[in-house]
Structure 1
Amino acid sequence: MGPKELGKRIKQMRTKKKLTQAALAELVGITKSHISKIENGVATPSLVTLSKIAETLDSPMSWFVIQEEHEGLSIVRKSDRKENVAKNEIGYDYELLANKNFMSNINPTIVTVLQGAEEVEPYIHNSDEFIYVLTGAIKLIYDGVTYNLVEGDSAYFSGRKPHIFISNSQEVSKVLTIYVEE
Protein backbone atom coordinates (compact mmCIF):
# COMPACT_ATOMS: atom_id res chain seq x y z
CA MET A 1 0.00 0.00 0.00
CA GLY A 2 1.29 3.43 -0.89
CA PRO A 3 1.51 6.40 1.45
CA LYS A 4 -1.59 8.05 -0.08
CA GLU A 5 -3.84 5.06 0.59
CA LEU A 6 -2.41 4.66 4.09
CA GLY A 7 -3.09 8.35 4.75
CA LYS A 8 -6.68 8.00 3.51
CA ARG A 9 -7.31 5.12 5.89
CA ILE A 10 -5.87 7.03 8.84
CA LYS A 11 -8.01 10.05 7.98
CA GLN A 12 -11.08 7.83 7.55
CA MET A 13 -10.63 6.32 11.01
CA ARG A 14 -9.74 9.67 12.60
CA THR A 15 -12.91 11.32 11.27
CA LYS A 16 -14.99 8.30 12.29
CA LYS A 17 -13.68 8.77 15.84
CA LYS A 18 -14.50 12.51 15.57
CA LEU A 19 -10.95 13.65 16.24
CA THR A 20 -9.25 16.66 14.70
CA GLN A 21 -5.74 16.37 13.31
CA ALA A 22 -4.52 18.46 16.25
CA ALA A 23 -6.22 16.17 18.79
CA LEU A 24 -4.80 13.01 17.15
CA ALA A 25 -1.34 14.57 16.95
CA GLU A 26 -1.41 15.47 20.65
CA LEU A 27 -2.56 11.97 21.66
CA VAL A 28 0.11 10.31 19.50
CA GLY A 29 2.86 12.72 20.52
CA ILE A 30 3.70 14.20 17.11
CA THR A 31 2.92 17.51 15.43
CA LYS A 32 -0.34 18.38 13.65
CA SER A 33 1.79 19.13 10.59
CA HIS A 34 3.18 15.57 10.63
CA ILE A 35 -0.36 14.08 10.88
CA SER A 36 -1.40 16.28 7.95
CA LYS A 37 1.57 15.10 5.88
CA ILE A 38 0.80 11.45 6.71
CA GLU A 39 -2.89 11.84 5.81
CA ASN A 40 -1.96 13.54 2.53
CA GLY A 41 0.55 10.83 1.59
CA VAL A 42 3.51 13.22 1.78
CA ALA A 43 5.14 11.48 4.78
CA THR A 44 5.27 7.83 5.79
CA PRO A 45 4.84 7.11 9.50
CA SER A 46 7.34 4.90 11.26
CA LEU A 47 6.06 1.59 12.53
CA VAL A 48 6.07 3.01 16.05
CA THR A 49 4.08 6.08 14.98
CA LEU A 50 1.63 3.92 13.01
CA SER A 51 1.26 1.68 16.07
CA LYS A 52 0.52 4.72 18.27
CA ILE A 53 -1.98 6.08 15.73
CA ALA A 54 -3.71 2.69 15.56
CA GLU A 55 -3.80 2.42 19.36
CA THR A 56 -5.17 5.96 19.70
CA LEU A 57 -7.84 5.24 17.08
CA ASP A 58 -8.63 1.92 18.78
CA SER A 59 -7.87 0.04 15.55
CA PRO A 60 -5.51 -2.84 14.82
CA MET A 61 -2.45 -1.61 12.96
CA SER A 62 -3.12 -4.22 10.30
CA TRP A 63 -6.36 -2.46 9.28
CA PHE A 64 -4.27 0.22 7.56
CA VAL A 65 -2.90 -2.04 4.76
CA ILE A 66 -4.40 -3.65 1.67
CA GLN A 67 -5.75 -7.13 1.94
CA GLU A 68 -7.80 -9.79 0.22
CA GLU A 69 -10.21 -11.62 2.50
CA HIS A 70 -11.77 -14.97 1.69
CA GLU A 71 -13.86 -16.52 4.47
CA GLY A 72 -11.38 -15.80 7.27
CA LEU A 73 -8.27 -16.00 5.06
CA SER A 74 -6.26 -12.81 4.55
CA ILE A 75 -3.83 -12.62 1.63
CA VAL A 76 -1.46 -9.71 1.15
CA ARG A 77 0.20 -9.94 -2.24
CA LYS A 78 3.88 -9.07 -2.49
CA SER A 79 3.00 -6.53 -5.19
CA ASP A 80 0.64 -4.76 -2.73
CA ARG A 81 3.15 -4.45 0.10
CA LYS A 82 5.86 -2.44 -1.51
CA GLU A 83 8.50 -1.25 0.91
CA ASN A 84 8.11 2.31 2.03
CA VAL A 85 10.84 4.30 0.34
CA ALA A 86 10.77 7.39 2.56
CA LYS A 87 13.06 7.29 5.57
CA ASN A 88 10.94 7.74 8.67
CA GLU A 89 11.88 9.26 12.01
CA ILE A 90 13.21 6.01 13.46
CA GLY A 91 15.28 4.87 10.48
CA TYR A 92 13.14 1.90 9.42
CA ASP A 93 11.33 0.97 6.24
CA TYR A 94 8.64 -1.64 6.69
CA GLU A 95 6.23 -3.94 4.91
CA LEU A 96 3.10 -5.09 6.73
CA LEU A 97 2.52 -8.75 5.89
CA ALA A 98 -1.05 -9.39 7.04
CA ASN A 99 -4.28 -7.58 7.62
CA LYS A 100 -7.05 -9.28 9.51
CA ASN A 101 -9.30 -6.21 9.69
CA PHE A 102 -10.19 -6.09 13.39
CA MET A 103 -10.03 -9.90 13.75
CA SER A 104 -6.47 -10.37 14.99
CA ASN A 105 -4.10 -8.89 17.52
CA ILE A 106 -0.97 -10.08 15.70
CA ASN A 107 0.80 -7.78 13.23
CA PRO A 108 3.68 -9.36 11.26
CA THR A 109 6.01 -6.92 9.51
CA ILE A 110 9.32 -6.99 7.68
CA VAL A 111 11.47 -4.10 8.92
CA THR A 112 14.44 -2.90 6.88
CA VAL A 113 16.84 -1.30 9.35
CA LEU A 114 18.36 1.83 7.84
CA GLN A 115 21.52 3.61 8.96
CA GLY A 116 20.74 6.54 11.24
CA ALA A 117 18.60 4.89 13.91
CA GLU A 118 21.61 5.19 16.22
CA GLU A 119 20.50 8.75 16.98
CA VAL A 120 16.98 7.74 18.08
CA GLU A 121 16.06 7.14 21.71
CA PRO A 122 14.64 3.73 22.67
CA TYR A 123 10.86 3.72 22.78
CA ILE A 124 8.03 1.82 24.47
CA HIS A 125 4.60 0.58 23.35
CA ASN A 126 1.88 -1.65 24.76
CA SER A 127 2.52 -4.73 22.59
CA ASP A 128 4.75 -7.74 23.06
CA GLU A 129 7.23 -8.03 20.20
CA PHE A 130 8.94 -10.96 18.49
CA ILE A 131 11.85 -10.28 16.13
CA TYR A 132 13.74 -12.64 13.80
CA VAL A 133 16.78 -11.40 11.86
CA LEU A 134 16.28 -12.35 8.20
CA THR A 135 19.45 -10.73 6.79
CA GLY A 136 22.38 -8.75 8.17
CA ALA A 137 22.93 -8.00 11.84
CA ILE A 138 21.36 -5.70 14.42
CA LYS A 139 21.97 -4.40 17.91
CA LEU A 140 18.88 -4.81 20.09
CA ILE A 141 19.00 -2.32 22.94
CA TYR A 142 16.50 -3.53 25.53
CA ASP A 143 16.05 -1.92 28.93
CA GLY A 144 19.55 -0.44 28.73
CA VAL A 145 21.35 -3.66 27.73
CA THR A 146 22.74 -4.23 24.21
CA TYR A 147 22.36 -7.61 22.48
CA ASN A 148 24.05 -8.39 19.15
CA LEU A 149 21.82 -10.44 16.87
CA VAL A 150 22.78 -11.92 13.49
CA GLU A 151 20.89 -13.64 10.70
CA GLY A 152 18.78 -16.45 12.18
CA ASP A 153 18.71 -15.03 15.74
CA SER A 154 15.43 -14.08 17.37
CA ALA A 155 14.11 -12.36 20.48
CA TYR A 156 10.74 -12.04 22.20
CA PHE A 157 10.15 -9.19 24.64
CA SER A 158 7.69 -6.80 26.22
CA GLY A 159 7.30 -3.48 24.45
CA ARG A 160 6.67 -1.85 27.82
CA LYS A 161 10.43 -1.56 28.46
CA PRO A 162 12.56 0.91 26.47
CA HIS A 163 13.92 -0.75 23.34
CA ILE A 164 15.15 -0.17 19.80
CA PHE A 165 17.07 -2.18 17.25
CA ILE A 166 19.69 -0.58 15.05
CA SER A 167 21.86 -1.76 12.19
CA ASN A 168 25.08 -3.55 13.09
CA SER A 169 26.05 -4.47 9.55
CA GLN A 170 27.41 -2.95 6.35
CA GLU A 171 24.79 -4.92 4.41
CA VAL A 172 21.05 -4.35 4.53
CA SER A 173 19.50 -5.79 7.65
CA LYS A 174 15.92 -7.08 7.47
CA VAL A 175 13.99 -8.19 10.52
CA LEU A 176 10.69 -10.07 10.70
CA THR A 177 8.84 -8.29 13.50
CA ILE A 178 5.60 -9.53 14.99
CA TYR A 179 3.67 -7.25 17.33
CA VAL A 180 1.28 -9.10 19.61
CA GLU A 181 -1.31 -6.59 20.81
CA GLU A 182 -3.40 -7.15 23.90
Structure 2
Amino acid sequence: MEQEVIVQISNKLKHIRKEKSLTLQEVADRAGVTKGLISQIENGRTIPSLLVLIQIIKALEEDLDEFFRELSLHTNQAPILIQRKENYERFEKETASGYIYHRIFTKKVKESTVDIVLLDVEPGSDREFAETEAFEYKYIIKGDVNYVFPDETIQLNEGDSMLFDGRIPHKPFNPGDETCKMLVVYFFEGKS
Protein backbone atom coordinates (compact mmCIF):
# COMPACT_ATOMS: atom_id res chain seq x y z
CA MET A 1 0.00 0.00 0.00
CA GLU A 2 1.40 3.41 -0.92
CA GLN A 3 2.37 5.80 1.86
CA GLU A 4 -0.02 8.53 0.66
CA VAL A 5 -2.96 6.11 0.85
CA ILE A 6 -1.88 5.10 4.36
CA VAL A 7 -1.83 8.77 5.38
CA GLN A 8 -5.32 9.26 3.89
CA ILE A 9 -6.66 6.26 5.84
CA SER A 10 -5.05 7.33 9.14
CA ASN A 11 -6.30 10.91 8.72
CA LYS A 12 -9.82 9.73 7.90
CA LEU A 13 -9.94 7.41 10.92
CA LYS A 14 -8.84 10.23 13.22
CA HIS A 15 -11.28 12.70 11.64
CA ILE A 16 -14.25 10.34 12.05
CA ARG A 17 -13.30 9.50 15.64
CA LYS A 18 -13.02 13.17 16.61
CA GLU A 19 -16.17 14.08 14.69
CA LYS A 20 -18.06 11.49 16.75
CA SER A 21 -16.36 12.71 19.97
CA LEU A 22 -14.93 9.27 20.69
CA THR A 23 -11.74 8.74 22.69
CA LEU A 24 -8.92 6.49 21.54
CA GLN A 25 -9.84 4.11 24.37
CA GLU A 26 -13.51 3.92 23.33
CA VAL A 27 -12.60 3.01 19.75
CA ALA A 28 -9.98 0.53 20.95
CA ASP A 29 -12.50 -1.18 23.26
CA ARG A 30 -15.09 -1.42 20.50
CA ALA A 31 -12.54 -2.77 17.98
CA GLY A 32 -10.92 -5.19 20.43
CA VAL A 33 -7.43 -3.67 20.09
CA THR A 34 -5.22 -1.48 22.27
CA LYS A 35 -5.44 2.28 22.63
CA GLY A 36 -1.77 2.49 21.64
CA LEU A 37 -2.43 0.68 18.36
CA ILE A 38 -5.26 3.08 17.47
CA SER A 39 -2.95 6.03 18.20
CA GLN A 40 -0.13 4.56 16.09
CA ILE A 41 -2.50 3.92 13.18
CA GLU A 42 -4.02 7.42 13.35
CA ASN A 43 -0.55 8.98 13.37
CA GLY A 44 0.74 6.88 10.48
CA ARG A 45 3.31 5.05 12.62
CA THR A 46 1.99 1.58 11.82
CA ILE A 47 -0.09 -0.06 9.12
CA PRO A 48 -3.04 -2.14 10.35
CA SER A 49 -3.89 -5.51 8.89
CA LEU A 50 -7.03 -5.55 6.77
CA LEU A 51 -8.93 -7.35 9.55
CA VAL A 52 -7.93 -4.76 12.16
CA LEU A 53 -8.77 -1.89 9.78
CA ILE A 54 -12.24 -3.35 9.20
CA GLN A 55 -12.74 -3.78 12.98
CA ILE A 56 -11.83 -0.12 13.54
CA ILE A 57 -14.12 1.11 10.75
CA LYS A 58 -16.97 -0.93 12.22
CA ALA A 59 -16.14 0.35 15.73
CA LEU A 60 -16.59 3.87 14.31
CA GLU A 61 -19.98 2.73 12.95
CA GLU A 62 -18.99 3.64 9.41
CA ASP A 63 -20.08 1.88 6.22
CA LEU A 64 -17.08 0.12 4.62
CA ASP A 65 -17.99 1.12 1.08
CA GLU A 66 -18.52 4.73 2.13
CA PHE A 67 -15.22 4.81 4.03
CA PHE A 68 -13.15 3.73 1.02
CA ARG A 69 -15.19 5.57 -1.63
CA GLU A 70 -13.65 9.00 -0.93
CA LEU A 71 -10.03 7.82 -0.76
CA SER A 72 -7.83 8.85 -3.67
CA LEU A 73 -6.15 5.63 -4.78
CA HIS A 74 -4.77 7.03 -8.02
CA THR A 75 -1.18 8.21 -8.31
CA ASN A 76 -1.58 10.24 -11.53
CA GLN A 77 -0.73 13.78 -10.55
CA ALA A 78 -0.87 17.19 -12.12
CA PRO A 79 2.59 18.66 -12.82
CA ILE A 80 2.01 21.55 -10.39
CA LEU A 81 0.51 20.96 -6.97
CA ILE A 82 -0.69 23.89 -4.87
CA GLN A 83 -1.79 23.68 -1.25
CA ARG A 84 -3.14 26.85 0.34
CA LYS A 85 -2.17 27.63 3.94
CA GLU A 86 -5.79 27.55 5.14
CA ASN A 87 -6.05 23.96 3.87
CA TYR A 88 -3.06 22.61 5.78
CA GLU A 89 -4.29 19.72 7.88
CA ARG A 90 -3.48 19.91 11.58
CA PHE A 91 -2.61 16.57 13.16
CA GLU A 92 -0.97 15.02 16.21
CA LYS A 93 1.96 12.63 15.98
CA GLU A 94 2.52 11.97 19.65
CA THR A 95 0.67 12.43 22.89
CA ALA A 96 3.16 15.02 24.22
CA SER A 97 1.68 18.51 24.39
CA GLY A 98 3.21 21.52 22.72
CA TYR A 99 3.91 19.95 19.31
CA ILE A 100 1.59 21.15 16.56
CA TYR A 101 1.97 19.62 13.08
CA HIS A 102 0.37 20.88 9.87
CA ARG A 103 0.57 18.55 6.87
CA ILE A 104 1.23 20.42 3.64
CA PHE A 105 1.57 17.63 1.06
CA THR A 106 1.92 13.87 0.93
CA LYS A 107 2.56 12.63 -2.57
CA LYS A 108 4.23 9.65 -4.20
CA VAL A 109 7.26 10.66 -6.24
CA LYS A 110 8.31 7.82 -8.53
CA GLU A 111 9.16 5.00 -6.11
CA SER A 112 9.27 7.20 -3.02
CA THR A 113 6.82 9.27 -1.01
CA VAL A 114 7.47 12.79 0.21
CA ASP A 115 5.49 14.07 3.21
CA ILE A 116 5.83 17.83 3.88
CA VAL A 117 4.66 19.31 7.17
CA LEU A 118 5.00 22.42 9.31
CA LEU A 119 5.93 21.78 12.93
CA ASP A 120 5.53 24.27 15.77
CA VAL A 121 7.56 23.38 18.86
CA GLU A 122 6.37 25.45 21.79
CA PRO A 123 8.76 26.66 24.53
CA GLY A 124 9.65 23.94 27.02
CA SER A 125 7.97 21.19 24.98
CA ASP A 126 9.55 17.79 25.51
CA ARG A 127 8.72 14.25 24.43
CA GLU A 128 10.15 10.75 24.22
CA PHE A 129 12.68 9.85 21.54
CA ALA A 130 11.02 8.98 18.22
CA GLU A 131 12.10 7.16 15.08
CA THR A 132 10.74 7.50 11.54
CA GLU A 133 11.15 5.12 8.60
CA ALA A 134 12.24 8.05 6.45
CA PHE A 135 15.01 10.54 5.89
CA GLU A 136 14.03 13.83 7.55
CA TYR A 137 14.87 17.32 6.35
CA LYS A 138 14.31 20.19 8.82
CA TYR A 139 14.41 23.88 7.94
CA ILE A 140 14.03 26.38 10.80
CA ILE A 141 11.67 29.13 9.65
CA LYS A 142 11.48 30.99 12.95
CA GLY A 143 13.00 30.60 16.41
CA ASP A 144 15.52 28.07 17.73
CA VAL A 145 15.40 24.39 18.62
CA ASN A 146 17.77 21.75 19.97
CA TYR A 147 17.66 18.37 18.23
CA VAL A 148 18.57 15.73 20.77
CA PHE A 149 20.10 12.45 19.56
CA PRO A 150 21.40 9.62 21.79
CA ASP A 151 25.03 10.80 21.49
CA GLU A 152 24.72 14.52 20.80
CA THR A 153 22.54 17.61 20.81
CA ILE A 154 22.51 19.95 17.82
CA GLN A 155 21.27 23.52 18.15
CA LEU A 156 19.45 24.86 15.09
CA ASN A 157 18.68 28.56 14.69
CA GLU A 158 16.42 30.43 12.28
CA GLY A 159 17.56 29.69 8.71
CA ASP A 160 19.51 26.54 9.66
CA SER A 161 18.62 23.19 8.14
CA MET A 162 19.44 19.54 8.74
CA LEU A 163 18.98 16.22 6.91
CA PHE A 164 19.27 12.90 8.76
CA ASP A 165 18.13 9.30 8.81
CA GLY A 166 14.93 9.31 10.88
CA ARG A 167 15.68 5.80 12.16
CA ILE A 168 18.18 7.42 14.53
CA PRO A 169 16.27 8.10 17.79
CA HIS A 170 15.68 11.86 18.04
CA LYS A 171 13.54 14.55 19.59
CA PRO A 172 13.27 18.33 19.27
CA PHE A 173 13.41 20.45 22.40
CA ASN A 174 12.67 24.18 22.48
CA PRO A 175 14.72 25.86 25.26
CA GLY A 176 13.68 29.38 24.21
CA ASP A 177 10.82 31.73 25.00
CA GLU A 178 9.11 31.72 21.59
CA THR A 179 7.58 29.01 19.44
CA CYS A 180 9.94 27.46 16.93
CA LYS A 181 8.38 26.98 13.48
CA MET A 182 10.05 24.56 11.10
CA LEU A 183 9.44 22.99 7.73
CA VAL A 184 9.82 19.20 7.89
CA VAL A 185 10.15 17.01 4.80
CA TYR A 186 9.99 13.22 5.21
CA PHE A 187 11.44 11.13 2.37
CA PHE A 188 10.03 7.59 2.52
CA GLU A 189 11.95 5.09 0.40
CA GLY A 190 9.99 3.11 -2.17
CA LYS A 191 9.25 -0.55 -1.60
CA SER A 192 10.03 -2.96 -4.40
- TM-score category (smaller protein): 0.5 to 0.7
RMSD (CA atoms): 3.7
Q: Does 1:89 align with 2:82?
A: no
| Percentage of matched positions with identical amino acids | 23
Q: Does 1:111 align with 2:128?
A: no
Secondary structure class of the residue paired with 1:168: coil
Question: Displacement, 1:180?
Answer: 0.6
Unaligned residue ranges in structure 1 (runs of 5+):
13-19, 39-44, 59-63
Change (3 A) 1:123 1:148: same
Tell me the equivalent position of 2:180: 173
Alignment check: 8 A CA contact 2:113 2:188 kept: yes
Question: Displacement, 1:123?
Answer: 1.3
Tell me the equivalent position of 1:140: 147
Q: How many residues align?
A: 142
Equivalent in 126, 131, 141 of residue 138 of structure 2:
131
Unaligned residue ranges in structure 2 (runs of 5+):
1-7, 16-29, 50-70
Deviates more, 1:125-134 or 1:101-110: 101-110
The one-letter code sitting in structure 1 at the alignment partner of 2:113 is: N
Alignment check: 8 A CA contact 1:127 1:181 kept: yes
Secondary structure class of the residue paired with 2:105: coil
The one-letter code sitting in structure 2 at the alignment partner of 1:51 is: G
Q: Moved runs in structure 1, 4+ residues, more than 6 A?
A: 5-8
Tell me the equivalent position of 2:12: 9
Give the TM-score taking structure 2 as reference length. 0.59
